[in-house]
Amino acid sequence: MIYKELKPFPEHFLWGASTSAYQVEGAAAEDGKSPSIIDMYEHPSDVADFSVASDHYHRYKEDIALFAQMGLKAYRFSVAWTRILPRGTGAVNEKGISFYRDVIAECRKYGIEPVVTMYHFDLPWCLEERGGWGNRETIDAFVNYARVLFENFGGDVRYWLTINEQNTMILHPGAIGLPKGGKLPSRKELYQQNHHMMLAQARTMKLFHEMVPQGMIGPALNLTAMYAASCRPEDAIAAHNWEVLRCWNFADVPVYGWYHPLAWEYMNDRDIAPEVQEGDREILKDAKPDFIAMNYYSTATIAASRGDASDVAARAGDQQIMLGEQGVYRPAENEYVGKTQYGWVVDPVGFRYTLRKTYERYHLPILITENGIGAPDILEPDGSVHDGYRIEFIREHLHQMRLAITDGVEMLGYCPWAAIDVVSTHQGYRKRYGFIYVDRDEFDLKGLERHPKDSFYWYQNVIKENGESL
């Protein structure tokens, strides 16, 4: 669609940026925080662990002052459950409460809207030892944690995200890590965990609307439109299979209250459907999100399954993510999109396409909670970082978002990954995403000084002009 004129970005658009607790805070065992599953994961020996990360726990004032200088209108961060409730449930750790209260106050001081993720991959280890998400008691534990958050921060935080990338946790559990000596759950166990997370999320959204009526809450999913590798009808079916199983099945449950019909039949056929107890359907039906939070990095291109083991292959440059499923879909190459040096597809037009599909399906406003490019940025001797590739990446995605807005998609804001350098989930500090460079290596902590990158100044200008020149 070519328009005579592009719509402007909305007046109160949330120009923001994101982080998550375990990737930025450090202080992994300080002030009463207990270990989460992330702290207990087996870490590749050549990659930084999460014990210090970017030391945001001690430097949040300096960091938020820099975010304010960049002009951010929103800062998306996650709360570590293990700081608030070190035993997963029970006694509240006041030091944890006061840390996040200070972070929120610091944001407010500069007029930055805090956007809070309640759960970003970091289940308390003590709950994992009791069966984790496989145990229905974890649903109550999560709802109790939610209540503590709403009681303490509900008055100061308007935008809330329940669970970050539930679809990644269920579909690619190895991408985040494995407990020391542990093994990956079976797919049956994973879909049971998924069902419990869905119930926890639904009960939390309902509670939220009772306790924080002025706020907005939504799930944060990694959404990706799929292209068929050719106009062969079997490729179209395979692309639809994977789009449903990877994306819509995870968003349909919070919005419509039940699984996508195709996904439900698929789970039944493979004997991996979750056990559903009496009352579960009502719980799921009873809750509604106010918006969809979307993490968007890339699209995928899909061909028909050949029905044998050759359907499955590791994602280029990333052995931890297996793509393809026998009898469902196989990954294919796309000559029309770019790739990062880590093999991730770069597809700004696919961003517009994914936004259109998501809005058409749910008719809920969309908040982008992640989008960005990982690169081994270089700190120059004069303290500058020339990350023109990041500027290019974000500029193109924002232009496509503006087209999507012109297409009629309702957008709340854009919080790319990441506000500041964070530890990449399994590629440490050699893969950076931030607008602000953190001077440390994989193991040498150096001085952890902060250095705005070129993208920092560029984004500052975008925010100042409300995206007018995009």
Q: Residues with catalytic annotation?
A: 165, 370
Contact between residue 332 and residue 406 where contact means Cβ atoms under 8 Å apart: no
Name the residue nearer to ligand BG6 (CB basis): 105 or 184: 184
- Angle, CA of 415, 418 and 419, to the nearest 5°: 80
Does 428 interact with ligand BG6 (rule: CB under 6 A)? no
Tokens of 300: 């995928």
Residue with tokens 């399994």: 426
Specify the amino acid at residue 121. Answer: F
For residues 290-309, which are near ligand BG6 according to CB under 6 A?
295
- Check residue 452 and report its DSSP letter: E
Please choose, from the candidates 367, 464, 319, 406, the residue with its C-alpha nearest in 3D space to the C-alpha of residue 7: 406
- For the CB of residue 224, give the shortest distance to ligand BG6 in the complex, in Å: 11
Per CB under 6 A, the segment of 94-102, 422-430, 450-458, 459-467 that binds ligand BG6 is 422-430
CA distance 357 to 354: 5
CA distance 118 to 400: 29
> Percentage helix, strand, coil, to 5, in the chain?
40, 20, 45
Name the residue nearer to ligand BG6 (CB basis): 42 or 286: 42
CA distance 378 to 202: 44
- For the CB of residue 144, give the shortest distance to ligand BG6 in the complex, in Å: 24
Does 168 interact with ligand BG6 (rule: CB under 6 A)? yes
Strand partners for 292 = 366
Tokens of 316: 């280029």
Contact between residue 36 and residue 80 where contact means Cβ atoms under 8 Å apart: yes
Does 162 interact with ligand BG6 (rule: CB under 6 A)? no
Name the residue nearer to ligand BG6 (CB basis): 110 or 342: 342
Neighbour count for residue 189 (Cβ, 10 Å): 17
SS3 82: helix
Strand partners for 424 = 428
Q: Which of 88, 124, 218, 374 binds ligand BG6 (CB under 6 A)?
A: 374
Per CB under 6 A, the segment of 163-171, 200-208, 376-384, 396-404 that binds ligand BG6 is 163-171
The residue number whose beta carbon is nearest to ligand BG6 equals 424
Strand partners for 432 = 375
Contact between residue 289 and residue 205 where contact means Cβ atoms under 8 Å apart: yes
SS3 157: coil
Q: Which of 431, 450, 451, 453 binds ligand BG6 (CB under 6 A)?
A: 431
Per CB under 6 A, the segment of 32-40, 51-59, 151-159, 419-427 that binds ligand BG6 is 419-427
For residues 435-464, which are near ligand BG6 according to CB under 6 A?
none
Strand partners for 329 = 325
CA distance 443 to 228: 43
Contact between residue 245 and residue 327 where contact means Cβ atoms under 8 Å apart: no
For residues 18-47, which are near ligand BG6 according to CB under 6 A?
20, 23
Q: Which of 93, 164, 193, 455 binds ligand BG6 (CB under 6 A)?
A: 164
Does 424 interact with ligand BG6 (rule: CB under 6 A)? yes
CA distance 21 to 57: 9
CA distance 404 to 353: 8
Q: Which of 201, 222, 298, 358 binds ligand BG6 (CB under 6 A)?
A: 222
Does 371 interact with ligand BG6 (rule: CB under 6 A)? no
Q: Which of 417, 429, 456, 458 binds ligand BG6 (CB under 6 A)?
A: 417
Q: Which of 25, 63, 113, 370 binds ligand BG6 (CB under 6 A)?
A: 370
Please choose, from the candidates 97, 103, 109, 209, the residue with its C-alpha nearest in 3D space to the C-alpha of residue 152: 97
Q: Which of 165, 235, 252, 280 binds ligand BG6 (CB under 6 A)?
A: 165
Report the interface residues with ligand BG6, using CB under 6 A: 20, 23, 164-165, 168, 222, 295, 370, 374, 417, 424-427, 431
